[in-house]
Amino acid sequence: MTGRLEGDTAIVTGSSTGLGEGIARRFAAEGANVVTNSRSLERAESTAEAIREAGGTAVAAEADVSEKADVEALVDAAIDEFGSLDVMVNNAGTTVEKPLFEQTPEDWRHVLDINLTGTFFGSQVAGKGMVEQGAGGQIVNLSSMFGSIGVQGRAPYNATKGAIENLTRNLAVELAEHDVCVNALAPGYVRTDLAAAPWGEEAKEHEWPYYGYSEEHVRNRTPLGRFGTLEEVNECATFLAAGGHYTTGEVLHNDGGWLAFGWGSKG
């Protein structure tokens, strides 16, 4: 690794599994002091321990990102432990996969609270800390290519991701005078625990909402012809977190060309 985050302190919310865990590990390998997070301290500590065993620096913090007091405690913990906060990655997210008419008010609020409200609180609290430090910073909000398209059975998730992208633009404008850059990262199909729909032949055995999620569908719909990898997501997150790129208010689509593909399928 090149040490692009050497000496920086980074919080990665929702970093016990999936994209968040991968980003936390990569940041540590790049020299960052990492604060891992989950609603379960045990799960957050699992990632932090793995980072330390690999020679990195990390501490774990329990927090529910939908609660502002928890987010404030999370940011305070990072600053108390490492003396500053340079990077905030708002990654924590969830989804509910059901047809529109089966979505309940509880489903809607659950996804909204974690994905959108959690991103807002994380940006607001971390942004305030960065402004008070006076040294700028980087905020990276995890969106998805689904923030720009419609997909059956995922109305709450897609709505929050679209909102996160416009929230990112607004925050970028508000925080620019303090040299705090705010960008969003929007991956495409990457195998994670959240994207847990069955693949390959198994997909054909399921009814809604798994229609269209076979390996063949994804390959045909993606110009690069494959799923993305965690390492490719990590590379994009590291670029945004490292700064020095004169970029703010942008959405970096890491989707293998999905959104650019007007024809829609290669097969």
d(CA 51, CA 55): 7
pTM over cut 0.75: yes
pLDDT of residue 198: 47
Beta strands of 151-197 (E only): which ranges? 180-187
| CA-CA-CA-CA torsion sign (240, 243, 244, 247) | positive
- Tokens describing residue 135: 């040294």
Options 157, 189, 210, 213, the catalytic residue: 157
pLDDT of residue 266: 80
Answer yes or no: 157 catalytic: yes
- Tokens describing residue 2: 């090149």
List of domains in the chain: 9-196+229-254 (3.40.50.720)
Helix or strand holding residue 252 (H, E) = strand 251-254
- pLDDT bucket at 112, cuts 50 / 70 / 90: very high
> Which 3 state secondary structure label does DSSP give 113?
helix
The model's pLDDT over 228-265, given as tens digits with 9 standing for 90+, comes to: 999 999 999 999 999 999 999 999 999 999 999 988 88
The model's pLDDT over 30-66, given as tens digits with 9 standing for 90+, comes to: 999 999 999 999 999 999 999 999 999 999 999 999 9
- pLDDT bucket at 218, cuts 50 / 70 / 90: confident
pLDDT of residue 116: 98
- pLDDT bucket at 138, cuts 50 / 70 / 90: very high
Phi (first) and psi of residue 139, to 5 degrees: -115, 125
d(CA 257, CA 124): 32
